[in-house]
Amino acid sequence: MKKIYTLFLFGFIVSNVFSQQVLKSPFVAAADKCGFSAEMEKNRVRGFNDAAYEAEMQRLINEFKQLNNFGPPTTIFSVPIIFHVIYDGNTESTIGTGANLTQAIVTAQIQQLNADFANLSGSGYGSATDLGVRFVAAKVDPMGNLLCEPGIVRINWRSQSGWQNPSGLSSMNAVMTHFDNVVKPQSYWDPYRYVNIWLADFSGSGLLGYATFPAMSTLPGLGNSETDQTAGVVVMSGSVGSLSNPGTASPYQYGRTLTHELGHFFGLRHITGDANCGNDYCTDTPPQNALTSGCPAPGTANGCTPSVPKMFENYMDYSNDICLNTFTLNQSESCQVVMLNSPRRKELPSSTTGVSPMLNRIFFKPGQTTVSETASGACPRYKEYPITVGVESTANGNATLSLSKTGSATEITDYTITPSSVTYTNGDATDKVFTLRIYDDAIIESAETIQLAFNISGTGVQQSIACGSANQYTITITDDDFNYSINNTMPTVTLLSENFGITTGSNQVPAGWVTSNAAGTSTTNKWVGNNTGAGTYGFSGNTLHISNGNSTAVTNGTAAMAYSSTATGTDARAVTPLLNAAGLKDISVSLKLVSNGEIDSGTFYDFGLVYYTLNGTNYSVLTVLNNDVYLQGITSSTTLNINLPAGTIGTSNLRLMFRWISDNSVANQPPFAIDDVVVTGKNVTVESQLNHAATENILSTSGSSNFYSSNDGQVIAKLSNPSVSPGCLTATITQAGNTNISLSSTAATYLRSEKVVNISPAIANTTASYNVTLYYTTAELAIWGANFANLKLMKVKNGINLGGLINSADAEVVNAVIDDQRATKGYASFSGDFTGGFSQFLLVYQTSVVPVAILNFDALSNNKNIVLNWSTSIENNNKGFFVERSIDGNQFEPISWINGKMNSNIISHYTYTDNYVEPDVIYYYRLRQKDIDNNEKLSDVRQAKIKG
Ligand SMILES: [Zn+2]
């Protein structure tokens, strides 16, 4: 016999596979999922008589039928509903955490109720009928104050007097007693004006929910234990949801628990009549021998005489939420009669608490509140999100709405919102949608926020000053950029390698591993390490496995790889030592394992799970095989490779957990066993390959952006502290290789690195200053030998051929800050500050200085003399120039001396006039440049003559 509690336990563990969830002590006493039987027993103690009650109901139903011509309801009752959201202020103060459910999921639940009650959920039965009740979120509290979150009142149980932690309530009775005696009396809202729903996480109890049952009068046999203080429904938070916005209590996550409990609240009984083929007082629901679990095949027999297909789709059965879709005509008639006659319920349709007192109030509708800046596509990459503003009912005039924007994120660079404003006209009830665009940059930064609020001009709409949360919308942008550690020598790092060959302690578990058996009582089905049974399942040597051996066998290392089918509620966990993945990406796990167990009718009962944790407290289950989390049916040693999600990048606090869960019936061997557990992460290596490139949107004037090749993730360059936001920049390896090459400029001669990195902006930029870092492998640097320490960074303007003579004005050389990691990590980085936009970058070693660079030199006749002009672009230690003349082009003699500038890096102009020339004689001139060390250098020769 299977236990319902086991079913929904799985659901809350494994839903939202990669979200972090706190594992709570999961095993609880067996219990019904609904407290109806207990509630009715309580009523009977108070004198309630089922037969008398149902006789009165039948009398009223007969009356009702005559009035309504035997059909579906002609009146649809609209009733205000209030959800008391009970949460733990210590751990769930953030809305959306645990039991502190969002407005969105509460709204979804109301929509699911209304679809189910309106017979709009796809029933295939001809008897399926609208129940005639709809639910509207309460808009005001009992004092008439506007509810900022319609239909919701939030209660931190820790701030209430005498309230217990609901998750510590360990049985159905504990929940019902605590709620009826403590929670409800302190928190109920007028039950003549609201349907009270209490939501709490009592997942430790095995109960999904319970409802109070309607009375027909105060006459003996017709009254019950329901009071003004207790009237209403209590359901487990995780069951709240809808088909499109499910909760967490799989397979009871689609909101049908509340549909079911409200069925009780409006007088419906379980389809079984809570007996073997008992009476539910509805002739159009077939009898049933037991409440259903799971989703049986259509046509499954009811187990009664006569044997007919059971109506497991009826909301008043126990089937999984997904297969429920039916209320019948008889059930509808009971509900209608209760709505017309039963205390409290009959007052609800005239309640006005579902009507807003501020019909033109606007508010932010629920939307995404945390977004990653990760986006895809061409640079600039971005992703867009809607920001929706609703109006309570309609605008009653004209108004223009714009959004005020504050927070740590920067408009334009981090995000944009369009349009800048929207308008309302009288009677306008439409949602207004702004588009938030989040840009993907490469800056390594902390999370940033955008805080939005309303600016309203005009009176057609208004905001409720009291409703901060409805008038404000905060979006957190999380960063996806990272400084990975660079290591060319060891691209892959092994964080854990464990074959369980060396074991210690009585359980023979390796040092640093922590095992536990959360059931607490079981001496069997725990993790032990030895080789007993290993060969049977294809392992060699020791494994870490679940064993049902007694303590002696465990101590002696003979506890077999096998599990017990009689041990109650096994939850055995094995946690790895701490794994330091700081600076690493692509964390993955490889292991050999077997894990069989039990699966019945698609539901897992015995199985293995693998989790990771980043803090030792919150564990997230991993998808391990075939897009599933369950490890079951693996009966011989199988190697699994699991890639951990992106959230594990860079963590220094990683652990894995292997978990075995089994119940107390049926054991299909073997249980969970693991071997050769290897956890690896990856360093980034330095990009050396030609044409590998990365394009990043640089939208900040501070911080650092890494260029990781889009080809293979290797690092090309880093840009820090740009003076402007240059936008999209592409870093490309434009030349590659390990040698060095001569490079000449008009200022000096150099050897340059063969590898050249080009950083080009999509939009031309000639003004930006910034710090750039280039990375070179040890192989790329080997050729420099002892000159390594004298390497400098050179920037050469785009378009300049590195093989020709480079004008010194087109190149900039700066000293590099060198981070030499060659010995241990196989690379070195070179950082330097540059100005004047982006270009080609390379390493250079200066081989010689050009002392004086003569740009041009000419000799021109000028009437009766010859004028010599020359200029220099650079002068180093230049004493000056002898001007030399010849009449045969061979024999030169000095005719003058012109002082040089000594040292200059700007263009200098010189002129000399030769007045002693005769007509029609060709004169040859040259310059003999002399530096302070008396080294000399001759210029080219020029010639000129004057006419006679
Ligand atoms: Zn029930």
Domain boundaries, the chain: 31-285+327-348, 362-478, 492-682, 693-849, 852-944
Please list, in sequence order, all residues whose beta carbon lies within 8 angstroms of the beta carbon of residue 459, skipping any fewer than 6 positions away.
396, 397, 398, 399
**C-alpha 34 – ligand 1 centre gap (Å):** 4
pLDDT score recorded for residue 517: 67
Cα angle 919, 920, 926 (rounded to 5 degrees) comes to 90
Say whether the peptide bond before residue 72 is cis (omega within 30 degrees of 0): no
- Per-residue exposure over 792-814, b if at least 16 CB sit within 10 Å of its own CB, e if not: bbbbbbbeeebeeebebeebbbb
Cα angle 315, 319, 320 (rounded to 5 degrees) comes to 105
Cα separation, 942 vs 921, whole angstroms: 14
DSSP code at position 538: T
Q: In DSSP terms, which residues pair with 156 in a beta bridge? A: 87
Q: What is the CATH number of domain 693-849?
A: 2.60.220
pLDDT score recorded for residue 141: 96
Residue 751: left if φ>0, alpha if ψ -120 to 50, beta else—which one?
Answer: beta
What are φ and ψ of residue 135, in 5° steps? Answer: -115, 135
Distance of CA 751 to the CA centre of its chain: 49
Please list, in sequence order, all residues whose beta carbon lies within 8 angstroms of the beta carbon of residue 225, skipping any fewer than 6 positions away.
39, 42, 43, 45, 46, 48, 212
Topology given in CATH for the domain delimited by 852-944: Immunoglobulin-like (2.60.40)
What are φ and ψ of residue 346, in 5° steps? Answer: -70, -15
**C-alpha 260 – ligand 1 centre gap (Å):** 6
**C-alpha 232 – ligand 1 centre gap (Å):** 14
Cα separation, 316 vs 410, whole angstroms: 54
Instruction: Assign domain 31-285+327-348 to its CATH superfamily.
Output: Collagenase (Catalytic Domain) (3.40.390.10)
Please list, in sequence order, all residues whose beta carbon lies within 8 angstroms of the beta carbon of residue 213, skipping any fewer than 6 positions away.
36, 39, 40, 43, 224, 226, 264, 265, 267
Q: Do domains 362-478 and 852-944 have the same CATH topology?
A: yes
**C-alpha 262 – ligand 1 centre gap (Å):** 9
* Contact assessment for residue 742 and residue 650, using Cβ atoms and an 8 Å cutoff: no
Residue with the two structure tokens 């096994």: 570
Cα separation, 720 vs 730, whole angstroms: 15
Kindly report the CATH class assigned to 492-682. mainly beta
What CA–CA distances, in Å, run from 740 to 178, 692, 743, 842, 943? Answer: 81, 20, 9, 11, 41
Got the DSSP string for 577-626? PPB--TT-EEEEEEEEEEE--EEETTEEEEEEEEEEESSSSEEEE---BT
Point out the residues that are catalytic. 261
Distance of CA 783 to the CA centre of its chain: 46
Sort strands 370-372 and 472-478 into parallel, antiparallel or unpaired.
parallel
pLDDT score recorded for residue 13: 34
Cα separation, 83 vs 195, whole angstroms: 9
**C-alpha 590 – ligand 1 centre gap (Å):** 46
Look at residue 373 and give its three-state secondary structure.
Answer: coil
36: closest CA among 223, 349, 340, 316? Answer: 316
- E strands, 415-553, in order: 415-418, 421-424, 432-439, 448-458, 472-478, 492-498, 514-517, 526-530, 543-547
Q: What is the CATH number of domain 362-478?
A: 2.60.40.2310
> Exposed/middle/buried for 482, CB within 10 Å: 0-12, 13-18, 19+?
middle
What CA–CA distances, in Å, run from 218 to 222, 337, 343, 366, 665? Answer: 6, 16, 9, 44, 48
**C-alpha 319 – ligand 1 centre gap (Å):** 11
**C-alpha 334 – ligand 1 centre gap (Å):** 16
Q: Which residues of the chain have pLDDT under 70?
A: 1-31, 69, 502-507, 517-523, 601-602
Say whether the peptide bond before residue 298 is cis (omega within 30 degrees of 0): no
Enclosing H/E stretch for 672: none
Please list, in sequence order, all residues whose beta carbon lies within 8 angstroms of the beta carbon of residue 217, skipping any fewer than 6 positions away.
56, 223, 343
> Exposed/middle/buried for 832, CB within 10 Å: 0-12, 13-18, 19+?
buried
Report, in angstroms and rounded to the nearest whole number, the Rg of the chain calculated over CA atoms. 41
Sort strands 448-458 and 421-424 into parallel, antiparallel or unpaired.
unpaired
pLDDT score recorded for residue 50: 94
Distance of CA 449 to the CA centre of its chain: 16
**C-alpha 325 – ligand 1 centre gap (Å):** 15
pLDDT score recorded for residue 507: 67
> Exposed/middle/buried for 485, CB within 10 Å: 0-12, 13-18, 19+?
middle
Q: Which two tokens stand for residue 287?
A: 């009898």
Enclosing H/E stretch for 13: helix 4-14
What are φ and ψ of residue 285, in 5° steps? Answer: -110, 125
Residue type, 309: P
Q: Which two tokens stand for residue 900?
A: 């040089």
What CA–CA distances, in Å, run from 121 to 256, 311, 315, 327, 335? Answer: 11, 15, 11, 10, 18
**C-alpha 268 – ligand 1 centre gap (Å):** 9
* Contact assessment for residue 423 and residue 399, using Cβ atoms and an 8 Å cutoff: yes
Residue type, 469: S
* Contact assessment for residue 340 and residue 64, using Cβ atoms and an 8 Å cutoff: yes
What CA–CA distances, in Å, run from 861 to 866, 911, 938, 948? Answer: 4, 13, 22, 12
* Contact assessment for residue 945 and residue 905, using Cβ atoms and an 8 Å cutoff: no
H helices within 236-362, ranges in order?
Answer: 256-265, 329-341
DSSP code at position 562: B
Cα separation, 841 vs 756, whole angstroms: 6
333: closest CA among 143, 76, 65? Answer: 65
**C-alpha 691 – ligand 1 centre gap (Å):** 67
CB atoms inside a 10 Å sphere around CB 635: 14
Distance of CA 687 to the CA centre of its chain: 29
What CA–CA distances, in Å, run from 794 to 65, 269, 474, 698, 773? Answer: 94, 84, 46, 22, 12
**C-alpha 36 – ligand 1 centre gap (Å):** 5
Q: Which two tokens stand for residue 181?
A: 């005696």
Cα separation, 416 vs 438, whole angstroms: 7
Cα angle 241, 242, 247 (rounded to 5 degrees) comes to 35
CA quadruple 25, 26, 31, 33: dihedral sign? positive
- Per-residue exposure over 294-331, b if at least 16 CB sit within 10 Å of its own CB, e if not: bbbeeeeebebeeeeebbbbbbbbbbbbbbbbbbbbbb
For the chain, what's the residue count? Answer: 948
